[in-house]
Structure 1
């Protein structure tokens, strides 16, 4: 089963998006230090645009995410432990995800989104890498449910 079968399945898509937004909320809340304060402020600004803004963005990015991560997910499943496989390759997964979000931010018509993203982008890879194991767990949960 390909990653798009999991992420884009209409029976499970909303739950997957909700799980991802909860992960983002958790990651932002746990961000330490001055960088964490900056991340929390920027995230609050973006969420202030619209209450469901993050969910909307995650949902819009799912087709691109599924294409970008599908080869790694297939390898991960074939390897036997997809969560561990992706966690061990968190830098590669983060790079794929950040390429997608870079394009999204660059094409955003909202200056506040572009500004917030530009401020956070230098440290984004660290935050995304920290979230990869949890993201892998979420994907695996939905993969198991769809199988």
Structure 2
């Protein structure tokens, strides 16, 4: 799966679909925490044009590698990828957040670091809520 998502033939479309997924997830957030997420996302997007796309492009290989075991489980159990991801949402979120936690520690951007630290407390819940869309995205591209 990781090789398919990061292949020259698929990577650009996968990245574009990930950007749509992120925009949808941010848009769906409500309440006070939703306002904080929307403000943080706007701050990160304002760093420079194309910043979020570059981050997604750079993180895709690591994310795909982290998600591959869950994908392989779904395939070996003849389960739908999206359903299997959803029933393993906590595990998927932990895998992705381990990568972003590491990147946030090492970033030189004060805006990115401060925004990440401010939103990290609710990150697992927010990533878990995105897992059904993520599962569908992977199912679309990896089959």
Bin of the TM-score, shorter chain as denominator length: over 0.9
Q: Classify the secondary structure of the residue corresponding to 2:7.
A: coil
> How far apart in 2 are the matches of 1:102 and 1:53?
18
Aligned-residue CA RMSD (Å): 0.9
Q: Look up the match of 2:88.
A: 89
Q: Look up the match of 2:69.
A: 71
> How far apart in 1 are the matches of 2:28 and 2:81?
25
Q: Classify the secondary structure of the residue corresponding to 1:49.
A: coil
Following TM superposition, the consecutive aligned residue runs of length 4 or more in structure 1 with deviations greater than 4 angstroms are: none
Q: Look up the match of 2:110.
A: 111
Q: Which of 11, 17, 20 is 2:15 aligned to?
A: 17
> How far apart in 2 are the matches of 1:18 and 1:79?
29
1:119 CA drift (Å): 0.3
1:48 CA drift (Å): 0.3
Q: Look up the match of 1:60.
A: 58
Instruction: Indicate yes or no: 2:132 matched with 1:136.
Output: no
Is contact 1:16-1:142 (8 Å) kept? yes
1:51 CA drift (Å): 2.5
> How far apart in 1 are the matches of 2:32 and 2:42?
15
The count of corresponding residues between Structure 1 and Structure 2 is 142
Q: Classify the secondary structure of the residue corresponding to 2:46.
A: helix
Normalised to the residue count of structure 1, the TM-score between the two structures is 0.93
* CA displacement, residues 86-134 of structure 1 (integer Å, 9 cap, x when unaligned): 1100011000000111111111110010000000000011110000010
Is contact 1:83-1:136 (8 Å) kept? yes
Is contact 1:79-1:85 (8 Å) kept? no
Give the gaps of 5 or more residues in structure 1: none
1:31 CA drift (Å): 0.5
